């Protein structure tokens, strides 16, 4: 069965996404390096630099679709190990890998891991100083619902940062990128995990995600102010920022 290029409705989508990340959890970090040729590290560093986390023990960040912890670990380190980060993910296998990595890095005291859905966050209103989500929002079936939830759990003055694959806005680079993602990514996926289909699905989910400007409008619609974006590597990825004021 190939679910790579057929239309997937909202209801089925979450199940497919969960399958993918359940299967790849143990190899997720190495796959990221291979498929982005290491670039995801620089993009994540830039995201956390843009956040500029406060060096304070009462600074609370929620990292949604946090997976194996890459963003949360960087935030805690950037705060001199003072900030408290909650890593939330719908997939217990990804969180399991994350918790183990946190333990090895000696960061467990700054982190909590929560298995839940971005569309329905198990937190009271106005709890967090920042909400981050990296390469996660395109997997969520109802993006508008996830964005309203982000708005709800942020404090006034809180910051939203979304890192996601976006529209390549550089001539030539877009052609190279297409060749890489449609051919190489499913092939590497198969080599490393034994399956190509989940990767075809992920590549397709990138195509379907709104471009920089449309996504900025969705963020505004959820209530955020001063919405801006920055392209990374010609728009292969983009960082969107918004404030709850």
DSSP H/E element including 32: helix 28-35
| 198-to-179, 187, 201, 240 alpha-carbon distances in Å | 18, 11, 5, 26
Burial class (CB in 10 A: 0-12, 13-18, 19+), 157: exposed
110 is annotated as contributing to ligand binding: no
Between 65 and 85, CB nearer to ligand SAM: 65
Q: What is the x/- site pattern for ligand SAM, positions 126-165, by CB under 6 A?
A: --------xxx--xx-------------------------
Interface residue with ligand SAM, options 94, 154, 227, 239 (CB under 6 A): 94
Q: How far apart are CA 131 and CA 180, in angstroms?
A: 31
Contact window for ligand SAM (CB under 6 A) among 87-95, 148-156, 165-173, 231-239: 87-95
Residue with smaller CB distance to ligand SAM, 66 or 235: 66
Q: Minimum distance between the CB of residue 230 and ligand SAM, rounded to whole angstroms?
A: 17
Q: At 117, is the secondary structure helix, strand, or coil?
A: strand
Across the strands, what pairs with 60? 84
- The reply to whether 118 sits in an annotated binding site is yes
117 known member of a binding site: yes
What one-character DSSP code corresponds to residue 66? -
Which residue in the set 53, 67, 186, 242 belongs to the binding site for ligand SAM (CB under 6 A)? 67
User: Is 68 annotated as contributing to ligand binding?
Assistant: yes
Residues in binding contact with ligand SAM, number by CB under 6 A? 21
Q: Rounded distance, CA 23 to CA 143, Å?
A: 24
What is residue 61's three-state secondary structure? strand
Candidates 35, 44, 14, 17; CA nearest to 163 is 44
Is position 17 an interface residue for ligand SAM (rule: CB under 6 A)? yes
Give the one residue of 70, 149, 164, 167 binding ligand SAM; rule: CB under 6 A.
70
What is the binding site for ligand SAM (CB under 6 A)? 14, 17, 21, 64-67, 70-71, 89-91, 94, 117-119, 134-136, 139-140
Instruction: Pick out the residues of the known binding site.
Output: 68, 89, 117-118
């Amino acid at each position: 069965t190939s679910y790579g290029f057929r239309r997937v409705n909202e209801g089925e989508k979450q199940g497919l996404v969960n399958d993918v990340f359940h299967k790849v959890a143990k190899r997720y970090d190495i796959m990221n390096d291979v498929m982005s040729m290491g670039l995801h590290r620089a993009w994540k560093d830039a995201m956390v630099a843009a956040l500029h986390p406060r060096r304070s023990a009462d600074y609370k960040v929620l990292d949604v679709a946090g997976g194996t912890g890459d963003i949360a670990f960087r935030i805690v380190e950037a705060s001199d190990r003072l900030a408290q980060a909650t890593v939330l993910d719908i997939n217990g296998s990804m969180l399991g890998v994350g918790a183990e990595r946190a333990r090895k890095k000696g960061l467990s005291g700054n982190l909590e891991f929560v298995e839940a859905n971005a569309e329905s966050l198990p937190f009271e209103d106005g709890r967090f100083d920042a909400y981050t989500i990296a390469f996660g929002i395109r997997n969520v079936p109802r993006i508008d619902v996830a964005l309203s939830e982000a708005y709800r759990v942020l404090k006034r003055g809180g910051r939203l940062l979304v890192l996601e694959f976006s529209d390549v806005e550089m001539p030539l680079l877009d052609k190279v990128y297409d060749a890489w993602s449609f051919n190489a990514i499913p092939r590497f996926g198969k080599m490393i995990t034994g399956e190509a289909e989940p990767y075809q699905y992920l590549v397709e989910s990138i195509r379907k995600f709104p471009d920089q400007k449309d996504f900025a409008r969705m963020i505004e619609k959820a209530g955020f102010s001063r919405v801006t974006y920055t392209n990374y590597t010609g728009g292969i990825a983009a960082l969107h920022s918004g404030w709850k004021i």
